[in-house]
Amino acid sequence: MHSELAGIVQRSRRIVFFGGAGVSTESGIPDFRSAGGLYAREYGGLTPEMILSKSFFYLHPEQFFDFYRKHMVFPDACPNAAHETLCRWEQEDKLRGIVTQNIDGLHKRAGNKRVYEIHGTVHENFCLDCNAFFPLKTIMEAQGIPRCPHCGGVIKPSVVLYGEAPDKYVCIGARREISQADTLIVAGTSLSVEPAASFLDSFSGKNLVVINRTPTPADRKANLVIRGNIAEEMKTES
Ligand code: NAD
Ligand code: ZN
C-alpha cells in the first residue's frame, strides 16, 4: 500500500470511502470518462448519458436493455485488491462506510456491510406494475424487454438513471457517514455527476485523500493526492 496512505489509515478511526467507476476498472468493468471508457465510443449517434436516461428507458425500452446488458452489466467481474482492503478495514472497525456511485455490487460481494449504493445496483430489479423482485439473472436471460411472469409488467433495474433522483434515505445515510468521518478517501471518480459530487461538502474531518489517475475537482482540498492505480495503491498483503 502507498506508504502515506497507510500512515493516515493507521491514525484514523472513522474512515469513509467515496468511490466511483475507477474502483472497478481493475475488475474489468470500463468506467465512463477514461480514454477506453464508454464515453469514448459512439452508439449510433447516441451518448451513454442519453441511453441511460429515464426518458429513453420509457420511450425505447428495447434499445435501453440492449445497451444495458452489453455495456453496464458484468456478471463475471470479481472484487479486486481495493475492494478486498476495504472489507478488511471494515472488519478491523476502521472503516465506517462506503459511499459508492457504482452499480456493480462488488463492495457487497467482497463482504462489506455498510455500503451506500447511491446510484442503486444491477442486482435488484422490480416489476413496474406489481413491484415483484427479480435477480440480475432474470434481466440477463430475458430476450428484449424483461417482463414480469406474474403480471406482464416491465421489469426495471433499480439503478438511478439520468433524470431520476437517488433514494432520499440512502443519501441521508451517506451524507451522515461522511459528516462523521475523520478521514475521507475519494477514489476513481471524476466527480462530475450530481448530487453525488456535492456529498463531499459534508466532510469536515482531518484527512481528505484522493486516489485517481487523472486530476479531480477535490484535489485542491486534499491533504494527500495519489495519482496512481487504486487497486495497486490500496493493496494489502495478507
Ligand atoms: P467516471 O468514469 O466519470 O470517472 C472515473 C475516474 O476514475 C476517472 O477520473 C479515471 O481517470 C479514474 N480511474 C479509472 N480507473 C482507475 C484506476 N484503476 N485507478 C485510478 N483511477 C482510475 O466515473 P464516475 O465519476 O463514477 O461517474 C460515472 C457514473 O457512471 C457513475 O454514476 C456510476 O454509477 C456509473 N458507472 C458505474 C460503473 C460501475 O458500476 N462499475 C461503471 C461505469 C459507470
Ligand atoms: Zn408484475
Active site residue 150: no
**Rounded distance between C-alpha atoms, residue 143 and residue 99, angstroms:** 33
**Rounded distance between C-alpha atoms, residue 107 and residue 6, angstroms:** 20
* pLDDT above 80 (res 41): no
Q: Concatenated DSSP letters for 116-158?
A: EETTEEEEEEEETTT--EE-HHHHHHSSSS-B-TTT-PBEEEE
For ligand 1, is residue 21 a contact (CB within 6 Å)?
yes
Residue nearest to atom 31 of ligand 1 (CA): 101
Q: What mean pLDDT do residues 94-116 have?
A: 97
Cα atoms found within 13 Å of the Cα of residue 158, Cβ hemisphere only: 17
Write the pLDDT tens digit of every residue in 139-174. Answer: 999 999 999 999 999 999 999 999 999 999 999 999
Q: Kind of pairing, strands 133-134 and 155-159?
A: unpaired
Q: According to the model, what pLDDT value does residue 238 have?
A: 61
Q: According to the model, what pLDDT value does residue 237 have?
A: 75
Q: Is 93 left (phi over 0), alpha (psi -120 to 50) or beta?
A: left
C-alpha cell at position 31: 468506467
Q: According to the model, what pLDDT value does residue 200 have?
A: 95
The answer to whether 31 and 197 are in contact (CB under 8 A) is no
Write the pLDDT tens digit of every residue in 198-226. Answer: 999 999 999 999 999 999 999 999 999 99
Q: According to the model, what pLDDT value does residue 193 have?
A: 82
C-alpha cell at position 74: 458484468
Residue 83 pLDDT level (bands cut at 50, 70, 90):
very high
Q: According to the model, what pLDDT value does residue 205 have?
A: 97
Residue 39 pLDDT level (bands cut at 50, 70, 90):
confident
C-alpha cell at position 24: 472497478
The single-letter code of the amino acid at 31 is D
Number of the ligand 1 atom closest to the C-alpha atom of 196: 32
For ligand 1, is residue 111 a contact (CB within 6 Å)?
no
What mean pLDDT, rounded, does the chain reach? 94
Residue 117 pLDDT level (bands cut at 50, 70, 90):
very high
Number of the ligand 1 atom closest to the C-alpha atom of 100: 34
- Burial string for 117-153 (b: 16+ CB within 10 Å, else e) reads bbbbbbbbbbbeeeeeebebebbeeeeeebbbeeeeb
Residue, of 179 and 36, whose pLDDT is higher: 179
- Which of the residues 71, 83, 107, 119 is marked catalytic? 119
For ligand 1, is residue 117 a contact (CB within 6 Å)?
no
Residue 45 pLDDT level (bands cut at 50, 70, 90):
confident
Residue 32 pLDDT level (bands cut at 50, 70, 90):
confident
Q: According to the model, what pLDDT value does residue 195 have?
A: 80
Question: What are the residues whose beta carbon lies below 5 Å from ligand 2 (ion)?
Answer: 127, 129-130, 132, 148, 150-151, 153
For ligand 1, is residue 28 a contact (CB within 6 Å)?
no
Nearest ligand (C-alpha, residue 213): 1
The closest alpha carbon to 158, from 138, 172, 187, 186, belongs to 138
